[in-house]
Amino acid sequence: MKVNRRNLTLGSIAAAIAVSNGSRPGFAQDKIALDFPYLWTGPEAEALQAIVDSFNESQDAIEVEGVSNPDMQRMIAQMSSRNGFDISDAFDNNIGTWASTGAIMALDDLVAGAEYDTSDYVPSTLERMKFDDQYFAMPIAVHTALLMTNDALFEADGVAKATTTEELADVIKTLTKVDGDGRITQLGLNQPDFISFAYSFGGRWLDDDLQPSANHAGNIAAMEFWVENVLEPYGVDEIKRFQSGFGEYASPQNPFYTGKVAMVIEGEWQARFIQLYAEDLKWSAGFVPNPAAMPELEGTAFLSASMFFIPSNTSHPEEAFTFMQHLLSPDAMRDFTIALANLPTRTSLLEDPAYADIPGMNYWLDSLKSENLVFNPSTSWEEEYRTEIASTTEEVINLRKSPEEALNELQEKALNLADA
């Protein structure tokens, strides 16, 4: 009995020492263990786990334990604790807040130390990862917003696709149908995300000095376009009522698939969704049209990204970066982005035939070759600004305020955020 207890005690001490050394029971003793929680679930998580497994098989120095953990609050709590994780993923809009608070580490030294070649990346995708001129994350997948059209509805009404915003207004008018009771039965264009839509009108939300430019003429024009061509002609309440009846987004009842909406501005994952839920849908996609007087905006596409980062409290930054390089390698990136139906961030993958298995993916892959890829650079007040933009959008789409009035007020609030 005494011997057993002693063995138990010694075993516990040994296990504690092993944990404190960064390796865990079950892992080979000479390997450094990395914790890798990720937000993805389901098939995406399976694809990521396969990449983790391939890394572990190739390694005799590092062992990665990946676990699906779609809980961002838990992630934040772990990042602020002493025993957090070593590497994880998130969306690009978190970079500013997390980098400015010191939650995630700058990667410049690691990139330089490993002589990591970044020349293959689409330049805008890497730029999006910066805060204060330093890289705080690396992009695994990007998304661009394109105008998708239900071509069957266009053909039924004999409508040509719009090449300018002026033509887009006419197309919306033709493809929005109202019945005898004044109820909308088909909407020409679903409400866009105004953060990205504004760029198609030459707008921007930050100036070159990263100061707010909420009341930029292009931003006002984008919102006025929606007010004048959709909200005022068809009525706020009627549009809301119609929108409330839209089916589940990721299902055959998606309003774009069922023909309730003729045009949507969406990202590349729609190509996979259509493959899964509406295989017979006749559709195409292209850049959102721009005002006829602004031909220089042609090919404008708003870019957002999913990224990998290393928290500041990791004990193994070099090892985490080694694993990150594996995650971002061309083969892993190809496998993973195909599983997600997201866009790769490497230019060498844009023509990869593997993406041809997803019909229509080429629209978005081609968009990454555009000279006019745009994004919102990171600031420490990015999340608060997004919240304010969302509130302002609500005021405009409920016709409580004119776009100009609402955006002028937003500018004042944003300046206060930037000064804080």
179 to each of 169, 185, 201, 298, 374, how far by Cα in Å?
A: 20, 7, 32, 36, 39
Do the beta carbons of residue 121 and residue 139 sit within 8 Å?
yes
Among 32, 51, 87, 103, binds other proteins (CB under 8 A): 103
CA–CA dist 287, 291 (Å, integer):
13
Residue closer to other proteins (CB basis): 97 or 378: 97
Instruction: State the distance between the two ends of the chain, measured CA to CA, in whole angstroms.
Output: 65
How many chain residues touch other proteins (CB under 8 A)?
32
40 to each of 88, 268, 275, 339, how far by Cα in Å?
A: 10, 17, 21, 11
Handedness of CA 270, 358, 94, 347 (dihedral sign): negative
**Residue 113 found at the interface with other proteins (CB under 8 A):** no
**Residue 102 found at the interface with other proteins (CB under 8 A):** yes
Q: Residue 411 has which token pair?
A: 């500018």
Residue range at the interface with other proteins (CB under 8 A); choices 48-56, 287-295, 339-347, 391-399:
391-399
**Residue 391 found at the interface with other proteins (CB under 8 A):** yes
Residue range at the interface with other proteins (CB under 8 A); choices 6-14, 95-103, 275-283, 358-366:
95-103
Residue range at the interface with other proteins (CB under 8 A); choices 9-17, 29-37, 234-242, 291-299:
234-242
CA–CA dist 24, 283 (Å, integer):
52
**Residue 23 found at the interface with other proteins (CB under 8 A):** no
Residue range at the interface with other proteins (CB under 8 A); choices 8-16, 99-107, 110-118, 294-302:
99-107
**Per-residue binder mask for other proteins (CB under 8 A), 28-67, x = binder:** -----------x----------------------------
CA–CA dist 108, 341 (Å, integer):
29
Among 179, 237, 371, 419, binds other proteins (CB under 8 A): 237
Handedness of CA 94, 96, 97, 101 (dihedral sign): positive
Write out the binding residues for other proteins, residues 251-290 only, by CB under 8 A. Answer: none
DSSP 384-419: HHHHHHHHHHHHHHTTSS-HHHHHHHHHHHHHHHHH
Residues forming the site for other proteins (CB under 8 A): 39, 70, 72-73, 76, 79-80, 91, 94, 97-98, 101-103, 237, 240-245, 312, 383-384, 386-387, 390-391, 394-395, 398, 400
